Amino acid sequence: MLVKSPMQENRAEADDIKAIVEQFQGLPGALLPLLHAVQSRQGYVAPEWVPAIADGLNLSRAEVHGVISFYPDFHSQPRGQHVVQVCRAEACQAMGSRKLEAHAKKVLAVDYGETTLDGEFTLEPVYCLGNCACSPSIRVDNRIIGQVDAALFDQVIADVDKIESSTVSSSTAESFSYQFYLSRDTSALAVDAEAVAERLQASAIESDLEVNLVRTGSRGLFYLEPLLEVDINQKRIGFGPVTAADIDSIVSALATDPSIHPLYLGLVDELDYLSQQQRITFARAGLGDPVCLDNYQNLAGFDGLRKALLMTQQEIVDQIKQSGLRGRGGAAFPAGIKLQTVLDTTSEQKFVVCNADEGDSGTFADRLLMEADPYQLIEGMIIAGLAVDASQGYIYLRSEYPVAHQMLNAAIQRALEAGFLGRNILGSSKDFHLEVRLGAGAYICGEETAMLDSLEGKRGIVRVKPPLPAIQGLFEQPTVVNNVLTLAAMSSILQSGGDAYQSMGSGRSRGTLVVQLAGNVKRGGLVEVPFGLTLRELVETYGQGCASGRAMRAIQVGGPLGAFLPESQWDTPLDYEAFTEIDAMIGHGGVVVFDDTVDMAAQARFSMEFCAVESCGKCTPCRIGSTRGLEVIDRITSDQERQENIMVLQDLCDTMEAGSLCAMGGMTPFPVRSAINYFPEDFSGELA
């Protein structure tokens, strides 16, 4: 066997780094993509490679070092053969992730950030994998696994070398007698849809059955995943949740009477969870192969774009204004006004940036859309580009979404080949280039200005406003920055007109509301309804109570910066203004349910801890305040000058809220204060 000497290895590595650097030279904001490339080739970014990287990109060593040290995804040291990440976010906590992380540490005999002695595993925390309706979740290398308990964890660890990360495949075979549909989105895969698919294929061969399996995106009924659908007389009936072991019996049932099967769900479209929804943005989700262009176009895809191409820029912007669409990332800023600002700002180069850094615990709508209907986002971005005369778009995607990454890249490639993207879109002489850029594990990069810095290849530090990104955004140019759902909605608005969209909703909240039901809930999934449904209706009608069968105690709405709502507030209607009135927010629509075993002091502590972990470190209230908050809560719960410290904590919350630069520090007080105010008994020491 040829053994390389250390020196040869060094030279080979150096050559490799050099080649990677050359590949990325000249790319705007190249540092993050370059570091991802180095990291994925070598497993880490050694300090001795930094000078070559810095030199190649005309950066200083200090800058490269600063960026590496900012993002959890980048490592200066080699890690284990496999990286095991345990999700610590709220939706997973609601389903017992604290126990799971303790188990993981015990089994692997390491703490977070450490590698097992044999070099096999590195254990890391992660904050949300977007699989919140099938929690608790872990990620092993590139595979996300849901509903993990101790036993499943041990099995995953034991079988780790058998795991292969899947790639985009749409296996449409020739002529078979059964047409099956099975999602290959993150959540379905996380509950082993792959095994179901394999078994289905195997079963087909064994029983000489003709099977055509289309891998779709999910319909968002995650409590039913893996949801196997079969086309019977042009209607889709469902079975779920299905395991590989159920396949043979399902196949037999199909030959006789499917309805006798215990997992038989009937017509999928008629499932109450789906039929009560009003799906606009998610109308196509789960229906077909997400990257099949024909499929998209058969379902009115690119109709909005075709209309937009015939309109003036102002006409497009007017349609969006008319629709009343507001940003779906959390801030609910009118999308049309933002487009107008960018349109009115003169510049040779403008950008459209999609914020796909969906970091809030309990949210997965963006992921679902990107995995189930990526063309809708692409179309929306092209329309936004046309509206403001931006020829370049970026999708800033969190790295915790590997499946969405594959899906988007496949879709972009096909759209490019078919002339919807790139130069001269559909012969219109308009250009729009689109590129996916991966984040690197920093929650703060979901904040739009930190995201812009990150896209520029810098540390994801929050910028001050003004200047607004619409005037001086990416690379200091006018930039449309919107969330995935907001941009996607632009395609349907252009397709059916702003008025149609405007006709739905309540108050100033127009269109539909997308909520994600997660945590300790019986029926977790995605719900798209008109604004106005109350929280109680949502968790009771759709969620049907806690998965644990216990009573619901607290509901956190709006991600880790959202308030914990006690039962007395569950009748609040789900619209932006109504939530603001009760010091809460809908944000990106994440709804995480906790049962009565939840320790609200621990949740308050976690909220501060999350802020301490994810703070960019720029402004003082967030940088120092979150760490002090954690310490004060520990003093409270350990009964040290409890009353005084509760006062200090309230004071600190005021300071963070009024003094922080962005919502991270400014809103961390919301969950903390709501926990103290609505669940004071958990801080009294009496429960302990």
Partner 1 sequence: MLNFYQPQPDQGTPEKLIGKQVTLQIDGVEVTVTEGTSVMRAASQISVKIPRLCATEQLESFGSCRVCLVEIQGRKGFPASCTTPVEAGMRVRTQSDQLAKLRRNVMELYISDHPLDCLTCPTNGDCELQDTAGELGLREVRYGYSGANHLDVDKDTTNPYFTFDASKCIVCSRCVRACEEVQGTFALTVDGRGFDSVISAGQGEDFMSSECVSCGACVDACPTATLTEKKIIELGKPEHSVVTTCAYCGVGCSFQAEMKGDQVVRMTPHKQGKANQGHACVKGRFAFGYVTHKDRITRPMIRNSIAEEWTTVSWDEAVQFAAQRFKEIQASYGKNSIGAISSSRCTNEEVYLVQKMVRTGFGNNNIDTCARVCHSPTGFGLKTTLGESAGTQTFASVDAADVVIVMGANPTDAHPVFASRLKRRLRAGAKLIVIDPRKIELVSSPHIKAEFHLPVRPGTNVTVLNALAHVIVSEERHSEDYITERSDLDAFEKWRNFILDEKHSPENTAEITGIDAAELREAARLYAEAANAAIFYGLGVTEHSQGSTAVMAIANLAMLTGNLGRDGVGVNPLRGQNNVQGSCDMGSFPHELPGYRHISDSQTRQLFEDEWKVSLDSEPGLRIPNMFDAALDGDFKGLYCQGEDIAQSDPNTQHVEAALTALECLVVQDIFLNETAKFAHVFLPGATFLEKEGTFTNAERRISRVRKAIAPLSGKADWQATMTFANALGCNMSYQHPSEIMAEIARLTPTFTGVSYEKLDRLGSIQWPCNAAAPEGTPIMHVDEFVRGKGFFALTEYIPTDERANRKFPLLLTTGRILSQYNVGAQTRRTDNSQWHPEDIVEIHPHDAEERGISQGDWIGIQSRVGQTVLHAEVTERVTPGVIYTTFHHPVSGANVITTENSDWATNCPEYKVTAVQVSKVSQPSSWQKRQKSYHDEQLQLLEKALQ
The only residue of 137, 187, 660, 674 in contact with partner 1, by rule CB under 8 A? 660
Beta bridge partners of residue 122, listed in sequence order: 83, 115
Count CA atoms closer than 13 A to 444's CA, side-chain side. 31
> In angstroms, rounded to a whole number, what is the distance separating the alpha carbons of residues 85 and 136?
11
Rule CB under 8 A: is residue 684 a binding residue for partner 1?
no
Rule CB under 8 A: is residue 613 a binding residue for partner 1?
yes
Smallest gap from Cβ 462 to partner 1, in A, equals: 9
> In angstroms, rounded to a whole number, what is the distance separating the alpha carbons of residues 94 and 521?
9
Rule CB under 8 A: is residue 474 a binding residue for partner 1?
no
Percentages helix, strand, coil for the chain (3-state, rounded to 5) are: 45, 15, 35
> In angstroms, rounded to a whole number, what is the distance separating the alpha carbons of residues 183 and 192?
10
Smallest gap from Cβ 480 to partner 1, in A, equals: 23
The only residue of 652, 663, 672, 675 in contact with partner 1, by rule CB under 8 A? 652
Q: What are phi and psi of 122, to 5 degrees?
A: -115, 130
The only residue of 661, 663, 675, 676 in contact with partner 1, by rule CB under 8 A? 661
> In angstroms, rounded to a whole number, what is the distance separating the alpha carbons of residues 88 and 138?
9
CB closer to partner 1, 198 vs 651: 651
How open is the CA angle 168-169-170, to the nearest 5 degrees?
130
Question: Are the C-beta atoms of residues 130 and 367 closer than 8 Å to each other?
Answer: yes
Instruction: Mark the segment that binds partner 1 (CB under 8 A) among 5-13, 54-62, 373-381, 541-549.
Output: 54-62
Smallest gap from Cβ 30 to partner 1, in A, equals: 13
Distance (Å) of CA 682 to CA 610, 627, 663: 20, 21, 26
Relative to beta strand 82-87, strand 392-397 is unpaired
Q: By CB under 8 A, what part of segment 57-76 binds partner 1?
A: 58-66, 69-70
Rule CB under 8 A: is residue 42 a binding residue for partner 1?
no
Smallest gap from Cβ 125 to partner 1, in A, equals: 14
The only residue of 8, 22, 40, 47 in contact with partner 1, by rule CB under 8 A? 47
CB closer to partner 1, 43 vs 617: 617
Smallest gap from Cβ 460 to partner 1, in A, equals: 8
Question: Are the C-beta atoms of residues 76 and 61 closer than 8 Å to each other?
Answer: no
Q: Which string of b and e fits 424-463 if b means at least 16 CB within 10 Å?
A: ebeeeebebebbbbbbbbbbbbbbbbbbbbbbbbbbbbbb
Instruction: Mark the segment that binds partner 1 (CB under 8 A) among 8-16, 241-249, 576-584, 607-615.
Output: 607-615
CB closer to partner 1, 10 vs 640: 640
CB closer to partner 1, 434 vs 649: 649
Smallest gap from Cβ 25 to partner 1, in A, equals: 10
The only residue of 303, 617, 642, 684 in contact with partner 1, by rule CB under 8 A? 617
Q: By CB under 8 A, what part of segment 453-472 binds partner 1?
A: 459, 464-466
CB closer to partner 1, 302 vs 351: 351
The only residue of 191, 369, 616, 633 in contact with partner 1, by rule CB under 8 A? 616
CB closer to partner 1, 601 vs 616: 616
Smallest gap from Cβ 483 to partner 1, in A, equals: 22
3-state secondary structure (DSSP) of residue 481: strand
> In angstroms, rounded to a whole number, what is the distance separating the alpha carbons of residues 326 and 337?
9
> In angstroms, rounded to a whole number, what is the distance separating the alpha carbons of residues 276 and 475?
44
Token duo for residue 122:
């590195």
327, burial (CB in 10 Å: exposed 0-12, middle 13-18, buried 19+):
buried
Rule CB under 8 A: is residue 659 a binding residue for partner 1?
yes
CB closer to partner 1, 596 vs 651: 651
Relative to beta strand 121-126, strand 590-595 is unpaired
Rule CB under 8 A: is residue 624 a binding residue for partner 1?
yes
Smallest gap from Cβ 357 to partner 1, in A, equals: 16
Contact residues toward partner 1 (CB under 8 A) are: 47, 50, 54-55, 58-66, 69-70, 442, 444, 459, 464-466, 612-628, 631-632, 644, 648, 651-652, 654-655, 658-661
